[in-house]
Structure 1
Amino acid sequence: MAASIKDVAREAGVSIATVSRVINKVDVVNEETKKKVNDAIKKLGYSPNIVAQSLKTQRSRSIGILVPDISSQVYPEIVRGAEDVANMYDYSIILCNSDFDIDKEKKYIKVMKEKMVDGLLYMSSSLDPEILQYIQDLNMKTVLVETTEDEKILPSVTIDNRQAAKEAVQLLIDRGHKKIAYIGIKKDRKNAWARRYYGYADALNEANLPLEEDLTYYGDLKAQTGYKGINSILEKTEVDAVFCGSDEIAMGVINGLRDKGISVPEQVSVMGFNDIYEASIFYPKITTVAQPLYDMGSVSMRILVKILRNEPSEQDHLVLPFQIIERDSVK
C-alpha cells in the first residue's frame, strides 16, 4: 500500500499540518524539521495526491501555454524559455495548440480553467475582443507573449513589430530598392504580425514611395504563402525586393523566384522576420529581423510567476530589443 501523509507525519514525528506545510513550501517550518519531513518522504516513497492538493488549495502548480501553431519554428523557442523558468519555480506546463482557430482557443482556455492551471501564457493569431473578454470573465491570470492589446489591460512581452519592420524595409530602400513587395498577415488583424505591414507602409511613405496593392499578398506565415504570394505578385508587376512577415515566407519566396530563374539577391532581395535557426542555413542565408524568442518566453513566465506570488512587477508591458541580422539574401 502506498504511504500516506499520516505515515510521513508519524515517521518524522511531526503533525500532518507540518508535513503539508513542507510539501506546499510554506515558509514557517524550520530547516531541521523540513529535513526530517523530506527524509521521511524519501524513505517511505510518499507522493502527494496532486488532484486532492489542487482541490484544497485551488492551485495546481501548473501553467497553461496556448500557441497558435506549434509547427511554426517560432513557438518552440518561446515555449522553451518559458518552461525553463517555470521549472525553476516548480511549475509544470500544459501546452495547447489552437491551429489559428478562435473556437479552439476558447475550448482550450476553458479546459485549462477546469484543470485549475494557476495562470496562462497566451500567444494568439488574433487578439479577438471576445477572447480577451473570455479570459477576463474566467479570471485567468494571463500574460500575452509576442503581442499586446491596445487597451493594455493584460501584461505583455513583445518587440516593437512596427518599428522593426520599418527599419527592415528602410534597409532595403537604403540599398536602392524601390519596388518592394509585402507578403504577410493582413493589416486589419489585431496581432503583432499585422503591425509589420504598417512598418512596411511607414518606410515607404517616408521614402515617398507609393503603396501599391499589386505589391501586396496576404496569407499565413508559412512557406506556401511566400511561394504563392511571389507568383501572384509577379503575374501583375515586377519587384526588386520582398519584405516577408516571417522567415518561412521568405523561404517560400526564394523558392518561387528560383523556380522562375530569378536569382536572390542579384535580381531580387528578400528580407525575412524572426531569425529562426533555418534562416541561417537556408540558401541563400536569409537577412532577417531577429526577435529574442527564448527571452520572450522566459521573461513572460517570470512576470506571470510574480503575479501568481503577489509580488510587485517593475513593468507590466515589456518591449524587448530586436536586431536586423544581415546575411546573403539582400544585396
Structure 2
Amino acid sequence: MTTLKDIAEHANVSACTVSRYLNQNIVVKKETEKRIQSAIKELGYVPNVVAKALKRKETTNVAVILPKINSLYYSEITSGISQTLGKHHYNLFIYEVDNLNLSENEILQLMRENMVAGIIIVGLFSDLSFKESIPSFLECGIPVVYANRCIPYAGFPLVYPDLTEAGKIGANYLYAKGKNRMALIHKKLPNDVLALFLDGIRQASEDEQKPFIIEIDDRMDLIKDCVPLLLQNNINSAFVLNELSAVNLTKALIQANIQIAEDIAVLSLGNSLLSQISTPELTCVDLQNQELGIRSAEIILSEIQKEKVEQVTVLEPFIIERQSS
C-alpha cells in the first residue's frame, strides 16, 4: 500500500510537506504541487479517511434515520438531503428502521460506532419515534434535526410542512371550483394531526359546509365501501390526505362510471411521480418534500459547523393543478 513516504520520495519532497499539503495546512509552489499530484496519481495513493477521522475526532458522515426508503415519499426527501450533503462533500448513511429490527438505543449505539457528525430523523407527521432519544444524541455531542414532524419546538431544530395551510389552500381551491360538498378522506391519521387539516379547512370559509370525513384502511374496498358514501352524501369533491389512496380512489370512481373533475373532483396531498402517472393526473397540494430534505441537510451542516440555525422551519405548501379537478 502506498504511503506518504513513498509519495514524498517520488515527488522529491519531505513526508511532512506531503502530509501538510494533503491536510491543506500549507500552500506549496505550483511546481511542487504538480510533483505531489503526479506522484499520487502514478502510485495510486488512496487517503485513509477512517484514520484521518479518528485522528481529528471528526467525520463527514451524516446519518438519516427513516422508516423505509422504498417509497416515493421518503426517496424525495432523501434526494434533497443527498444533493445538499454532496455539494459539501459529506457522506450520507441511511438507516431503515423497518429493516434494522433494532431498538432506539441500539440504533443510537450504531451512530456512535460509525462516528456520525450529525443525524436527520425523518418520519410521518404522526410518527414521534426517537423524540425521547434525541437528548441522548445531543449529550454525545451529535447534532440532530427532527424532520417532517409537526410538533412544538422541543429544544432541537424542526423542519416540517404547514399542514393547516395545506388544508386551507386545498379547501379554497375546491370551493373556488364550485365544489362545496367536500369529503376529507384520510388513512388513520391521529386526531391531533387531522385537527390541523380541519382547522385549515375551517379557515378557508366559514360559510361552507363542514367536510364529510371518511377514514379508510388497506382492507377497505373503495368501490363497495367508499364510493357509495360519496354518492349518498352528494359529495362533489374529495380531498385525500394520502397520495396512493387518491390514486386508488380515482380508479374506483372511474370503475363506478363517475366522471372525475366533472362529477367529483379529486385533490391529493403530496406531489410525487404517482400523481403524474395517475389516470387522470392528480391535482395536488405539494408539501415540498425535496425542499424539506434540502433544508434539513442545510441545518444539520450548519449545526456541525457550530453555526446558529433556525430552530423551527415551516414549509409553505402550494397547489399543482392537473386533470383530476
**Matched residues in 2 for 1:108 and 1:231: separation?**
43
Partner of residue 176, structure 1: 179
**Structure 2 vs 1, CA of residues 52 and 301 (structure 1 numbering), >3 Å: closer, same or farther?**
same
CA displacement, residues 6-64 of structure 1 (integer Å, 9 cap, x when unaligned): 3234444555555444444x4x3114365554443223211122332232222232111
Aligned ranges 1:28-177 → 2 under 5 Å: 28-32=25-29, 36-99=35-98, 107-125=106-124, 126-128=127-129, 129-174=131-176, 175-177=178-180
Partner of residue 317, structure 2: 322
Q: TM-score under structure 2 normalisation?
A: 0.81
* Aligned partner of 1:217 among 194, 198, 215: 215
Partner SS state of residue 257, structure 2: coil
**Matched residues in 2 for 1:20 and 1:311: separation?**
29
**Matched residues in 2 for 1:148 and 1:158: separation?**
6
> Which amino acid in structure 1 is aligned with residue 280 of structure 2?
P
> Which amino acid in structure 1 is aligned with residue 198 of structure 2?
Y
**Matched residues in 1 for 2:287 and 2:269: separation?**
8
* Aligned partner of 2:247 among 246, 251, 276: 251
Q: Using the TM superposition, give the Cα deviation of residue 270 of structure 1 relative to its aligned residue in structure 2, in angstroms.
A: 1.3
CA displacement, residues 214-257 of structure 1 (integer Å, 9 cap, x when unaligned): 723155xxxx58x6567544565533322122322210221232
Work out whether residues 185 and 197 of structure 1, in 8 Å CA contact, stay in contact via their aligned partners in 2.
no
**Structure 2 vs 1, CA of residues 177 and 91 (structure 1 numbering), >3 Å: closer, same or farther?**
same
CA displacement, residues 157-216 of structure 1 (integer Å, 9 cap, x when unaligned): 333122122210232233232242221352346xxxx3x65223441474355657x723
Identity %: 23
Instruction: List structure 1 segments (4+ residues) > 6 angstroms apart after TM superposition.
Output: none
**Matched residues in 2 for 1:123 and 1:4: separation?**
41
Partner SS state of residue 264, structure 1: coil
1:292 aligns with 2:288: yes
In the alignment, structure 2 segments of 5+ residues that lack a partner are: none
**Matched residues in 2 for 1:7 and 1:269: separation?**
71
**Matched residues in 2 for 1:114 and 1:327: separation?**
48
Q: Using the TM superposition, give the Cα deviation of residue 107 of structure 1 relative to its aligned residue in structure 2, in angstroms.
A: 4.1
Partner SS state of residue 74, structure 1: helix
**Matched residues in 2 for 1:199 and 1:146: separation?**
15
Partner of residue 256, structure 2: 260
1:281 aligns with 2:282: no
Work out whether residues 12 and 40 of structure 1, in 8 Å CA contact, stay in contact via their aligned partners in 2.
yes
RMSD, matched Cα: 3.2
In the alignment, structure 1 segments of 5+ residues that lack a partner are: none
Partner of residue 197, structure 2: 199
**Matched residues in 1 for 2:202 and 2:137: separation?**
38
Partner SS state of residue 80, structure 1: helix
> Which amino acid in structure 2 is aligned with residue 127 of structure 1?
L
Partner SS state of residue 180, structure 2: coil
Work out whether residues 122 and 144 of structure 1, in 8 Å CA contact, stay in contact via their aligned partners in 2.
yes
**Structure 2 vs 1, CA of residues 179 and 159 (structure 1 numbering), >3 Å: closer, same or farther?**
closer
**Matched residues in 2 for 1:96 and 1:197: separation?**
31
Q: TM-score under structure 1 normalisation?
A: 0.80
Q: How many residues align?
A: 315
Q: Using the TM superposition, give the Cα deviation of residue 283 of structure 1 relative to its aligned residue in structure 2, in angstroms.
A: 1.0
**Matched residues in 2 for 1:142 and 1:105: separation?**
14
Partner of residue 271, structure 1: 267
Work out whether residues 246 and 267 of structure 2, in 8 Å CA contact, stay in contact via their aligned partners in 1.
yes
Work out whether residues 182 and 200 of structure 1, in 8 Å CA contact, stay in contact via their aligned partners in 2.
no
Work out whether residues 184 and 241 of structure 2, in 8 Å CA contact, stay in contact via their aligned partners in 1.
no
Q: Using the TM superposition, give the Cα deviation of residue 3 of structure 1 relative to its aligned residue in structure 2, in angstroms.
A: 0.6
Partner SS state of residue 99, structure 1: helix
Work out whether residues 186 and 218 of structure 1, in 8 Å CA contact, stay in contact via their aligned partners in 2.
no
> Which amino acid in structure 2 is aligned with residue 184 of structure 1?
K
Partner SS state of residue 207, structure 1: coil
